[in-house]
Every structure is written in structure tokens, then in C-alpha cells.
Chains A and B, each alone.
Chain A
Amino acid sequence: MRELLELLKHDARRPAKELASMLNISEYEVEEKMAKLEKDKIILSYNTLINWDKTGENTVTSIIEVNLTPQREVGFDAIAERIYRFDEVRTVYLMSGSFDLLVIIEGKSMQDVANFVATRLATIEGVTQTRSHFLLKPYKKDGIIIDDKEKDRRLVMSI
């Protein structure tokens, strides 16, 4: 299972036939295993890593440090839920250290994001402080170097 997940993590579009060869199992077994992983929510989704900068589309990403007052019984979870239910919110992590939640927000413009933070996020009960950082340029994302200049420089044949 670990091997299958590793392969999919690297390239989710690999045909079952190829996966079967590499794992030494049948195509049917590959499909069965994948269905089970999806059902068990081990595989949550198959995403595409996009370099939006190249599309000319404007998107703004902001990383926000959020401080909270924990609540009796539920701690941080209830407030976290109130935050992560928003579509604008892409990612939420509970953190150790000087703040409690790390929230990543995507919007069309800086104004858009600032607006969301000021009117929706900062006003949630239990949120005591927010600090926003706008992302300027991605260099590497999920293990992929955005503008990788390294290429195959080997001679076409060698013994």
C-alpha cells in the first residue's frame, strides 16, 4: 500500500496498467486497492499543481497567523471549524509556538483577502489576533521546484 501511495503521490495520473507492472500485481488489484484507499479517506483527492503565475490569472495568497482563546470542552477545534468552512480558506493547521492556527487564504486581490480577514476571520468569537503575510513568489511547492533549470545533460548514449 505504501508503495502504491508513493507512486500516486508523485503522479496521480499514472495508468493502472503501469502501476500494476511496477507493483507486480494485476490491474484489477490496483483498481481495487485505490477504491479502498478512497473509501477509507486515505486518498482524499487527486490534485493538480498549477503555476498560476504563468496563466496570467491574478490570484493572491496570504498566510495568516491566528491567535485564539481556547474554549472549554472543545479547545481549538470548534473555532477552527468555523474558519475552515469558508471556501476562501484553503488550508488550516493547528500550530505549536507563538500562534495557534496557520490559515492560508486565496483571493483575487490583496483587497479581497484583506477584506475577508477584517470582516470574517478577525471577527470570529475567540479569535484574539491575526497577522497576515502575503506570498510574493513561489520557489518550490510540494516538493516541486517551480522554475527548475536543471535538465538532462547526459550524452545520448554511453557504455
Chain B
Amino acid sequence: MTNWNDRISPIVKSVPPSGIRKFFDIASEMEDVISLGVGEPDFVTPWSIRESCVYGLEQGYTSYTANRGLLELREEICFMHKRRFELDYNPKTDVLVTVGVSEALDIAMRTILTPGDEILIPEPCYVSYKACATLAGGIPVPVPAKAENDFRITPADLEPHVSPKTKALLIGYPNNPTGAILSKEDLEAIARFAVKHDLIVISDEIYGDLTYGDTKHVCFAGLPEMKDRTILLNGFSKAYAMTGWRIGYALSNPDIIAAMTKIHQYTMLCAPITAQIAAVEALRHGEKYMRKMVSEYDKRRRLIYDGLQKAGLKCFEPKGAFYIFPDITSTGLSSEEFAEKILMQEHVALVPGNAFGECGEGFVRCSYATSIEQISEALLRIEHFVSHL
């Protein structure tokens, strides 16, 4: 008997499987489950965006596009960064349209990491970061962000993890899973740190449009001298409720973008033309729909923040993305125990914090990208659960 498992690359084997499989399987079988475990908008893509794609199909737009993506789309992306962040990117040389931020993360890492290179990855964070670094042959170096600091990362947190092999830093704010954001001052401190150690910074700003209250997103590449040093990643999945379209982009200096394009060209060829057409529409006319969705998330954010506190769970106020990250240590349960028990007893699905890195232990991630009715019901169930432990 052939042992196929032996034939699998040790690098692939070293990447752990998804941390939610077990919960997913149970939750999928439940009739009345309320899920706060979904990492994507509950909105359907705004109609004008969908309609533009339908029209494009009717007109026969079904071919490959340039490897870097439709020039029209690259121009809109650059125009938006100019308008919002005073950033001058050249659509011909500084942009690569990708199949979601997922692909952009993968090829950014493959572009800059050689075997043995280390990349600093603040945790808790999106699950792909470490996996992509490992698959690229690099060594992910997790840096725990402190809960008492509302999960913001500082040079003091990062400094002890720097080694001669450190080549890059990956930041993802507004953050999945914590909802933390970094202020301009926080980012400036990180910029100084990057210069001091001459690091490339990958900045995943996929939740950049989703900030609340008075907070405005600061684009890392827009800080003085950071533009060329930064690989800025963004996409349409979250802000425009376009997860299934698979479309995102990377912005950086011409050398890095050319190198990323090489990988993209040989492995992906181009992002789907249908999604690129839709993305053009999103940038040209979609902002008002996006703002409306953001204001919906904001109401839900306030509801869940208030509700979780009243249920007796400590949490800091999330300022971005659509997640809240309550501290569940007062229950005496571990993250996984909490997630499993509340799923079995109250039929509420949420994600244990340790799925996002060891320092997420003691927390759970609740997504509020779900209706107010569902959130209200979930809050009742959580309160019931916590008070009957």
C-alpha cells in the first residue's frame, strides 16, 4: 500500500489545518444556529455592481485581461488612492490586480522571502498570514500584541523578535479578529521601526474602509517615506461585500510589482474579467453603497459592544472591521471550551481566539456582520450561557 501522506511536502504538512473545522461541522448540522462566526458581510453585493458585470457579460467580456489587470481598473485604484490618501501610484507600473487579497498575500511573500528569511507577524491575526509565509519558505515570527493595549502593536512589542534574518513585517489593521486599529501615531512609530531595521512592510488594509466613529483609516503607505517600502494590499471583499468575486490588488514600487506580476502571470494569469469589470463599477459609483453598509455595521457594533458587556464579558471597543473580541477568562473556560459549550448549549457559533494565534487564548471572535435581529437573539443566548455557568 502506498502511503500517499509520505509523499506530501513536509512544508505543506507543517501548516496546521483550519482551527474551526470541528465547530463548522457541528454548526452546519444545527437548524437554529445563530452564527457570529462568519468572516464576510451579510450583505449581497450592491446591485449596480452586479448589474455592471451582467452587462459586461452581455457585451461579450469573457476573455483574459492583461496580467496586471484591466488598465481601467488600475487607473481607478490609483485615482482612489490619490483622492483619499494623497498617494501617487502609477497605474502602469505600481499596481497588480489579484484574485483577492489572498493571492496578493501569497505572492507578496513569495516575492520577498527566501528560505530562512523571517517575517514579523503580530498576533492575533488573520489565519493566512503565517501559512503563506511558511509556504513561501520563510519563517513566520509571531509577535503577540497585548490585550491591555487593545491589541495594538508597538515597536516595543516587535523589537525583541528582530534578528539578523528579519526581512519584513506584516501588519493587518483594522484587524481581524480583534477589531483593533492603529492610530497615525502608532503607525508612525512602526514606520520608524521599519526604517531602523530596513524592513519591507506588507500592509493588509482590506478592512480600511470599515472604521467607525471619529476614527479615520490611515494608509500606512501614505506616511512619509513609506510608499516604496510598503506592499499595500487591499480588495473589494469586505467593503463592497464582494467576497465571492475574488478580486483584490497590490500596490508598491515598480520592482516589487514587476516581480509579483511574474508569479501571478505564471500561476494565475489574470484575475477574472467579470470581477474586474465589477470592481471598476465599485470604485466609480459604489462608494455611497459602501458607506451605507458601514453605517449599518456601526449600529450593530454598538449593539453588540453594549450587549456583551451587559452579559458580563469584558471587551474593548472595536474601532474597525466587523469583529469584536471579548475576554472570556472570567468564565473559567478556555477559548475552545467556551466556543464548543456555547455552540452545543445555546446554538451560537463563534470562533475561539486561539485560532488566530496563541495570544488569542482567553478570547473569542464574534462577527457582527449579521442582522440586528440575529445579534439581539445571540446576545440573549450569550447572557443566558454566561450567567448559568
Contact = CB atoms under 8 A, between A and B. Distances in A.
B339 to A, nearest CB: 10
A53 interface: no
Interface stretch (B18-26, B63-71, B161-169): B18-26
B119 interface: no
A156 B20 CA distance: 11
Interface in A19-76: 21-24
Contacts of A22: 299-300, 302-303, 372
Contacts of B127: 159
Contact of B27 (A14, A21, A156, A159): A156
B303 A157 contact: no
Contacts of A23: 302
Contacts of B289: none
A159 B19 contact: yes
Interface in B341-364: 349, 351, 355-356
**Interface magnitude class on chain A:** 10 to 19
A73 B283 CA distance: 52
Given A7-B299, A21-B302, A157 B42 contact: no
B222 interface: no
The CB with the most chain B CB atoms within 10 A, among A7, A22, A156, is that of A156
A110 B236 CA distance: 50
B114 to A, nearest CB: 28
**Interface magnitude class on chain B:** 20 to 34
Contacts of A142: none
The CB with the most chain B CB atoms within 10 A, among A7, A18, A24, A157, is that of A157
Interface string B26-48: 01100001010111101010000
Interface string B287-313: 000000000000110110011000000
A134 B286 CA distance: 36
A158 B303 contact: no
A154 interface: yes
Interface of A: 7, 11, 14, 18, 21-24, 150, 152, 154-159
Interface of B: 18-20, 23-24, 27-28, 33, 35, 37-40, 42, 44, 126-127, 299-300, 302-303, 306-307, 349, 351, 355-356, 372, 376
Given A18-B372, A156-B37, A159-B356, 17 more contacts: A7-B299, A18-B303, A18-B376, A21-B302, A22-B299, A22-B300, A23-B302, A154-B38, A155-B38, A156-B38, A157-B23, A157-B27, A157-B37, A158-B37, A158-B39, A158-B40, A159-B351
